Amino acid sequence: MPPSARQGRLGVGVISAGKVGAVLGAALRGAGHQMVGVHAISAESQDRAENLLPGVPVLEIPEILRRAELVLLAVPDDALAELVAGAAEAGHFQPGQLVIHTSGRYGTAVLAPAEQAGAIGLAVHPAMTFTGMSLDLQRLAACAFAVTAQPEVLPVAQALAVEMGGEPVVVAEEHRGAYHAALAHASNHLNVLAAQSSELLERIGVGDPSRVLAPLMQASLDNAMASGLGALTGPVARGDTGTVAQHLATLADPELPHDIGETYTAMSQAAVQRALGMGTLSEAKAAELLDLLSEES
């Protein structure tokens, strides 16, 4: 049976065709749902819509809300509340209409104006970074989707996550902030660490830092996911105060960006506390390391 012939196929409207919206719209289309319209303002969004959602009409938001049975709101976090409130005030939401947002920061409370108009609010956030290209569709297969919804419609949110190729993970409304902070801390700060380490290697003449860092960072990530904090290695975990002191002296070079040394110090302090909590560092050695690190913070 072709996807379009399955039960429960919906008319989907996407607001807007950013990297996330265009990809998830394409995933829903691949599951057999009909795309009734997409909102795209910038030239980049219009190109993305043409590439990932060919043949789908580019429409204004009120027309998408009029046509769609399922509305996918893939707008920036800071724009979401204003968009929902404005559309609700203008009377654009419909009773029974599914309204999904893709923000990691919010649960469904932000959709309250739409729900007051009779719409059904769902929060479905894919826990991955997007390029806005077709390769993202393949990566969805390994992606967790944080889903938040009222109990009676939670299965709908879960089913949509599965249809898009991902694995639904239920996150309570009150835990969305912690959920999103965890993801941002892991993903965004990993990028910062990689960039800082690459800059250090480039400054000493390593032409392609990725050849040195990528295998190391991938192995560290794999070990951390498999063994948790038990995978922690390095001079802090060993209590090697002399090596940490040498690192700090190197990173204090005034020609280096200050943020590298500051990040190293902050992460080392956190590593000391974690190692102490695990019992792999003695209290005396932890105190020695913390005293050294506090001189640089």
pLDDT by residue (tens digit) across 134-152? 999 999 998 999 999 999 9
Token digits of residue 157: 């949110």
Mean pLDDT of 112-120: 98
- Would the pLDDT of 6 be above 80? no
pLDDT tens, 85-113?
999 999 999 999 999 999 999 999 999 99
Q: Which residues have a Cβ under 8 Å from the Cβ of 228 and sit 6 or more positions away? A: none
pLDDT tens, 225-271?
999 999 999 999 999 999 999 999 999 999 999 999 999 999 999 99
- Would the pLDDT of 2 be above 70? no
Can you tell me the distance from the alpha carbon of 146 to that of 159, in angstroms, rounded to the nearest whole number? 12
Kind of pairing, strands 144-148 and 120-126?
Answer: antiparallel
Tokens 């039960």 appear where?
7
How far lies 166's CA from each of 24, 252, 274, in Å?
A: 11, 45, 32
Can you tell me the distance from the alpha carbon of 286 to that of 276, in angstroms, rounded to the nearest whole number? 7
Mean pLDDT of 192-209: 97
Q: Note the pLDDT of residue 297.
A: 64
Can you tell me the distance from the alpha carbon of 126 to that of 108, in angstroms, rounded to the nearest whole number? 15
* CATH class of residue range 178-294: mainly alpha
| Cβ neighbours, 10 Å, residue 50 | 16
* DSSP per position, 52-97: HSTTPPB--HHHHHHH-SEEEE---HHHHHHHHHHHHHTT---TT-
Kind of pairing, strands 98-101 and 120-126?
Answer: parallel
Domain ranges of the chain: 3-171, 178-294
The pTM of this model reads 0.89
Q: Note the pLDDT of residue 8.
A: 66
Q: Note the pLDDT of residue 92.
A: 98
Q: Note the pLDDT of residue 239.
A: 95
Q: Note the pLDDT of residue 142.
A: 85
pLDDT tens, 44-73?
999 999 999 999 999 999 999 999 999 999
3-state class (DSSP) for residue 231 = helix
Domain 3-171 maps to which CATH number in 1.10.287.610, 3.90.550.10, 3.40.50.720, 3.40.190.10? 3.40.50.720
**Which amino acid, residue 66?**
R
Can you tell me the distance from the alpha carbon of 255 to that of 200, in angstroms, rounded to the nearest whole number? 11
- Would the pLDDT of 296 be above 80? no
Q: Note the pLDDT of residue 295.
A: 87
Q: Note the pLDDT of residue 162.
A: 97
Q: Which residues have a Cβ under 8 Å from the Cβ of 296 and sit 6 or more positions away? A: 248, 252, 261, 265
Q: Note the pLDDT of residue 1.
A: 35
Angle between helix axes 258-278 and 176-203 (nearest 10 degrees) is 120
